[in-house]
């Protein structure tokens, strides 16, 4: 644990983590549930720092069935997912509480939206700096380095921390 920065609260059997336990990762993600032979095994929940959670059945460290719930209470359903898709572009808060009056835009599910640092992107779990290719959480702590695929996805799809003129520009 001292090498990974993780913390384990629970029982050991033959020197291995086993039984009901709490496992805190250095990212402040917390697992609460059953362990077997040092792995998540049985019923367990991952609690993420942003308030979301993943309830699952685990086998030898792998989730075999689970449900992801966003911090605002929206549950992800891969078979009947109608949140912000091609047919209905409303945010979950707009579905729950209604649309804003004409002329007042809601650009994220969080209203008002987070302020994005200059030169960065909001990639959903933190801010991405395309120069360093580092993603830091919303409290400015390191999350991960973006690989080429994630970098391209963020640049194409995520909200920027600066304004750009789009569309027609009149000739001067």
pLDDT of residue 89 exceeding 80? no
pLDDT at site 49: 87
Is 172 inside a domain boundary? Answer: no
CB atoms within 10 A of CB 124: 13
Sheet containing 53-59: which strands, arranged edge to edge?
7-13, 16-24, 30-36, 39-47, 53-59, 62-69
Is 169 inside a domain boundary? Answer: no
Q: Is the pTM of this model over 0.85?
A: no
Query: What is the tally of structural domains in the chain?
Result: 3
Do 22 and 43 have their domain in common?
yes
For the chain, the average pLDDT equals 87
pLDDT at site 70: 87
Domain coverage including residue 63 = 7-69
Do 105 and 133 have their domain in common?
no
Residues 6+ apart with CB under 8 A from 92: 70, 72, 74, 83, 84, 109
Do 18 and 42 have their domain in common?
yes
> Which has the minimum average pLDDT: 12-16, 140-144, 165-169?
165-169
Is 119 inside a domain boundary? Answer: yes
Q: How far apart are CA 67 and CA 65, in angstroms?
A: 7
Q: What radius of gyration, in Å, describes the C-alpha atoms of the chain?
A: 20
Owner of token pair 């075999």: 64
| 111-131 pLDDT tens trace | 778 899 999 999 988 999 999
Q: How far apart are CA 122 and CA 157, in angstroms?
A: 10
Task: Please state, for a pLDDT cut of 90, what percent of the chain lies above it.
Answer: 53
Do 102 and 119 have their domain in common?
no
pLDDT of residue 85 exceeding 70? no
122 SS3 class: strand
What the block records as the tokens of 63 is 């989730």
Is 49 inside a domain boundary? Answer: yes
pLDDT at site 88: 67
Is 13 inside a domain boundary? Answer: yes
């Amino acid at each position: 644990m001292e090498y990974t920065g993780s913390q384990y609260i629970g029982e050991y059997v033959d020197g291995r983590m086993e039984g009901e336990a709490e496992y805190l990762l250095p990212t402040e993600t917390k697992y609460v549930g059953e362990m077997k032979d040092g792995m998540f095994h049985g019923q367990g929940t991952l609690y993420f720092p942003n308030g979301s959670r993943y309830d699952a059945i685990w086998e030898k460290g792998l989730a075999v069935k689970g449900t992801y719930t966003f911090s605002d209470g929206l549950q992800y359903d891969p078979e009947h997912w109608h949140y912000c898709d091609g047919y209905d572009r409303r945010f979950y808060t707009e579905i729950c509480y209604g649309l804003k009056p004409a002329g007042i835009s809601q650009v994220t599910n969080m209203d008002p939206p987070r302020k994005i640092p200059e030169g960065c992107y909001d990639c959903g779990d933190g801010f991405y700096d395309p120069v360093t290719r580092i993603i830091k959480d919303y409290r400015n702590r390191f999350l991960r380095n973006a690989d080429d695929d994630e970098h391209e996805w963020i640049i194409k799809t995520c909200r920027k921390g600066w304004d750009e003129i789009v569309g027609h520009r009149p000739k001067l």
